Structure 1
């Protein structure tokens, strides 16, 4: 069959959903059935749930970044860049490559799995002074920053500056925020023993959230257990509270408290990638509204899944939508690949149904709370389940070996407290990592496609 006549399947995003979809397409489609292309700025799949352990130095960055180019057997073409617009009428995706060239990529089938970005609000100073926890670079940078605060506090002769550098604020009482605060608190608690001039009692971690409960999905008992563990470690937890404004040396809470700090970590939820807004299609709280088969009604060959899609949760019913979790993204990736193949072959597509398997929260060391299949666990059993789940979810044996080796080495040898020098020249904050200003408006997408004479 001529290459030009083969259907073109374009997958946007190399997260859990996108990579699972691509790999299943490669396994189930013969080479002459379709051409598969993946658009991603980084040629690796990032295992997001373990980012807090990268930030705390338990894991190396490479151990949770699974290369997409490592195997010789995969035939998918990778376009290094980011999708910044989609013209559904012309069936064209507009891509900004890593060389800043803007190109039009035509498709017959498109699978939208661009993921999500950090949700921010119109809080004075937030994007200028807060760190996020959404990318590999942010996790590595935060580790450097936290260790540098200990170094700078140790070098300072000003007690006010020293106190401010030893206070840390994490906003967001979900899994990401709770695990980030727990893991980094353990890091500073262990590191301060190597700084004889610093008073350990000056190190204070604050975890705040506007919600009335910490990780409400866990239920009252496990949520209370997690709070008890964190408070026993000295982490100050404030619920029903958020940030009123942020500055370079202090943060003001909505309850009026002013906390002198140089470290504000923002993990208060996520929103769908701005790419979704470029389609001009119906959305649910920013996520693309799709059918249970994960296709876009009224637009042939358009599928969406993962964090950017409002996929009906048929297992729960009552109009519920699937939560933006890794376990759903993995299964949706495989399922949408099957539906793309069914559509391509003229067969019937099947709705997505998956019952949630439970939740795991790793608080570092031997501390954890987990709820696999509704069974509530604490301590070492919960830790074994949490790490066992994450380990088994890693896609390659190389990644599994690296992660297991890191865990064993950290358990035996402890932390190294090494600063790599990422922030030696210029400080970077939340606004510097996610490039949210790169996307086009629907009008700009149409102008771009029409002005270039259609698909290239």
Structure 2
């Protein structure tokens, strides 16, 4: 039984943050009802993004609203704050954060806590490549996924409406950097969508488009094994997708992708999916980190050598007690993050009740990846699957893992309807500039083209 009112601060609303708070509010609902426990979740976005569905959202197979889970709905017994923690002083049990309200005044807010769950996740790992900041497109959030879909269709519109071969070639060249899950699945789904959409353009053919995957190492999809990685390369190349292994992007300045093998590709699309790094917040704490910037954690998911601090997921270096080799760490993926969150929540409950803690021990069961509609690869419990069976397992697995029955039912309904009707090929890029039409009507310049004068004068 919790003797005094305990304040738990959960930083981050991703896999670890949401699942930890969700399990805590169920495990300790009596303490919450008696006002003996308060759970506060601070996250920049008041929703959890189920990232494995981002490629299908980009391809139009799933509505973007169904890729996210609203935290205020599922965390009804928790206090959810839309904001960003910028500094943590664990010695004083304080966290400094900014919210939309404090940003307007240029100030900050301070929260105090008794137990800290630090799970801000990761951010894209970028390199100082010329032009990347100006022209690169990420693929980590639902906004980026939908923006990329709109961008690809817009490039097809540009190519269809011009007779300039240079503009047309650049518009129809799509470069993806990074051969991990995000890059390969996004490329596979979007190429599938664009190839289908090409049938509705009178002057475009699938062969007119160039899809290029650039990977610095000598293999792609290392999570599914070397054999499945080679199979994936073969399948992508059969779809006329160039897979360039052992190659790096050296520059994309002036909308030209310069590769380390000497090739140059004029392009209007460079998608950067070359890995992630720990969230910058970790460096703004007084907690111990490893050489890669992640929090040093124990198998009980406590921060090493620190009381009342917990972590898991991408932000944490968690020992893999099931591995044969000493010093092995769990992989930073969704499979471990979801399972770690449950153990983390249970251990916080144990700690508050004076009970012994549990160790996190989960053996990695395998991986699944989609390469487009009815195409995929999988390695699960040592068994290798290819093509349709792997694609079906990919959908079945992730449908079972997406949070809440509401989201499961909506995603399943969308998949069912997609099997009965044709794909949507509409670009809603104007959503990114909702005031453009009004500003034009009000006498301003069009925000997308500074050369347009709405009053008609030259």
Q: TM-score, normalised by structure 1?
A: 0.90
Q: Which residue of 2 aligns with 1:97?
A: 99
Q: Distance in 2 between matches of 1:48 and 1:23?
A: 19
8 Å Cα contact 1:9/1:107 also seen in 2:
yes
State which of 197, 200, 216 in structure 2 corresponds to 1:194: 200
Range that drifts further, 191-200 or 117-126: 191-200
Q: Distance in 2 between matches of 1:242 and 1:414?
A: 37
Is 1:381 the counterpart of 2:389 in the alignment?
Answer: yes
What is the Cα deviation at residue 98 of structure 1?
2.4
8 Å Cα contact 2:368/2:390 also seen in 1:
yes
Partner of 2:327, secondary structure, is coil
Which of structure 1's runs of 4+ aligned residues deviate more than 6 A? Answer: none
Q: Distance in 2 between matches of 1:228 and 1:271?
A: 30
Partner of 1:418, secondary structure, is coil
Q: Which residue of 2 aligns with 1:206?
A: 212
What is the Cα deviation at residue 217 of structure 1?
2.5
Partner of 1:38, secondary structure, is strand
Gaps of 5+ in 1: 428-456
Q: Which residue of 2 aligns with 1:395?
A: 403
Partner of 1:385, secondary structure, is helix
Q: Which residue of 1 aligns with 2:55?
A: 52
Q: Distance in 1 between matches of 2:326 and 2:162?
A: 58
Alignment of 1:47-446 (within 5 A): 47-70=50-73, 74-99=76-101, 100=103, 101-284=107-290, 285-316=292-323, 317-420=325-428, 421-424=430-433
8 Å Cα contact 2:177/2:272 also seen in 1:
yes
8 Å Cα contact 1:229/1:367 also seen in 2:
no
8 Å Cα contact 1:145/1:423 also seen in 2:
no
What is the Cα deviation at residue 334 of structure 1?
0.7
Q: Which residue of 2 aligns with 1:11?
A: 10
The size of the alignment, in residue pairs, is 425
Q: Which residue of 1 aligns with 2:440?
A: none
Q: Distance in 2 between matches of 1:91 and 1:283?
A: 18
Range that drifts further, 7-16 or 31-40: 31-40
8 Å Cα contact 2:135/2:255 also seen in 1:
no
What is the Cα deviation at residue 2 of structure 1?
12
Q: Distance in 1 between matches of 2:432 and 2:68?
A: 21
8 Å Cα contact 2:170/2:266 also seen in 1:
yes
Q: Distance in 2 between matches of 1:199 and 1:350?
A: 58
Q: Which residue of 2 aligns with 1:21?
A: 20
How large is the Cα RMSD of the aligned pairs? 1.8
Gaps of 5+ in 2: 437-446, 449-458
What is the Cα deviation at residue 280 of structure 1?
3.7
What is the Cα deviation at residue 76 of structure 1?
0.3
1:344–1:243 Cα change, 3 Å: same
Partner of 2:176, secondary structure, is strand
Q: Distance in 1 between matches of 2:382 and 2:85?
A: 39
What is the Cα deviation at residue 411 of structure 1?
2.4
Partner of 2:190, secondary structure, is helix
1:403–1:248 Cα change, 3 Å: farther
Q: Distance in 1 between matches of 2:254 and 2:390?
A: 38
Instruction: String of CA shifts for 1:301-340, please: whole Å, max 9, x gaps.
Output: 0011110111111111421111111110101111111111
8 Å Cα contact 2:2/2:352 also seen in 1:
no
Range that drifts further, 43-52 or 276-285: 276-285
Q: Distance in 2 between matches of 1:137 and 1:216?
A: 27
Partner of 2:378, secondary structure, is strand
Is 1:35 the counterpart of 2:34 in the alignment?
Answer: no
What is the Cα deviation at residue 250 of structure 1?
1.2
Partner of 1:70, secondary structure, is helix
1:154–1:28 Cα change, 3 Å: same
8 Å Cα contact 1:88/1:299 also seen in 2:
no
What is the Cα deviation at residue 414 of structure 1?
2.8
8 Å Cα contact 2:2/2:353 also seen in 1:
no
Instruction: String of CA shifts for 1:35-82, please: whole Å, max 9, x gaps.
Output: 1111112221110111111111111101111112235x8210001111
8 Å Cα contact 1:168/1:261 also seen in 2:
yes
Q: Distance in 2 between matches of 1:391 and 1:87?
A: 39
Instruction: String of CA shifts for 1:414-445, please: whole Å, max 9, x gaps.
Output: 32111112345668xxxxxxxxxxxxxxxxxx
Q: Distance in 1 between matches of 2:224 and 2:53?
A: 19
Partner of 1:54, secondary structure, is helix
